[in-house]
Structure 1
Amino acid sequence: MHETDMTKALIMTVQDWFDQQTVKPKITKIHLLVGQFTCVEPMSLQFAFEVQTKQTFLEGVELVIKDVPLVAYCHPCQAEYRPEIGSQYSCPTCRSPMEDIRSGRELKIDRIEHHQCTPV
């Protein structure tokens, strides 16, 4: 389950960002972009995040996952198309092999929602 390793990397990235903040913010949501061609299972990623953030500064933070479709570009046809993952990757019009992926490989933090904690 590579989602576990990806979640660890996500937590480390957010931790690095958090540590750089002079006033520690209260994180409420982490928005991720996850491409369909990454073979990441969003439900598994969600589960791994919940398990790995228990009793940490990220406990209770909502992980919002946006699926990014696989979109390829066919140079002979000069057109974009959406390959069928697992079955048909070539251009549906001319059958040229998929060479130019325009989206679908993303796996990144889009944004972190937070608010500044006020000192007591």
Structure 2
Amino acid sequence: MHETDMTKALIGTIRDWWDAQPEKPTVQKVHLIVGTFTCVEPASLQFAFDVQTQGTFLDGAELAIKDVPLVAHCHTCHADYQPELGSQYACPSCHSPMEDIRSGRELKIDRLECVAA
């Protein structure tokens, strides 16, 4: 389950930011953007976050995950399309191979909601 390692990295990134703050804010919500092509399972990520933040500076913080669909662009027919994961990645119109991913690979912190300490 690579979500566990991803959650450790996420917590480490937030901790680096939090440690640099002169007054330690309370993090209430972590907004995360996750593309479907990352193959990250949101429920597993949520579970790992809940378990790994217990007893830490993030204990009680909510994880809000925004899913971003896989969107590819076909340079042959100039169309955007949404390939079906694990199935056919070629353009449904002209059957050219997928070569330009426009979205779906994101895995990043969008923002944090905090209150002053």
User: Is this a same-fold pair by TM over 0.5?
Assistant: yes
Which blocks of at least 5 consecutive residues in structure 1 are unaligned? none
Q: Deviations over 1:35-73 (max 9, x none)?
A: 000000000000000110110010110000000000000
Runs of 4+ in 1 over 4 A off after TM superposition: none
CA distance in 1, matches of 2:53, 2:31: 15
CA distance in 2, matches of 1:31, 1:88: 31
CA distance in 2, matches of 1:71, 1:20: 37
Shift of 1:79: 1.2
1:88 equivalent in alignment to 2:105: no
Q: Percent same amino acid at aligned positions?
A: 71
Equivalent pairs, count: 117
Shift of 1:23: 1.2
1:47 equivalent in alignment to 2:47: yes
CA distance in 2, matches of 1:115, 1:57: 13
Alignment of 1:71-86 (within 5 A): 71-86=71-86
Alignment of 1:1-120 (within 5 A): 1-117=1-117
TM-score by length of 2: 0.99
Shift of 1:105: 0.3
TM-score by length of 1: 0.96
Name the SS of the counterpart of 2:105 in structure 1: coil
One-letter amino acid matched to 2:114: H
Shift of 1:115: 1.4
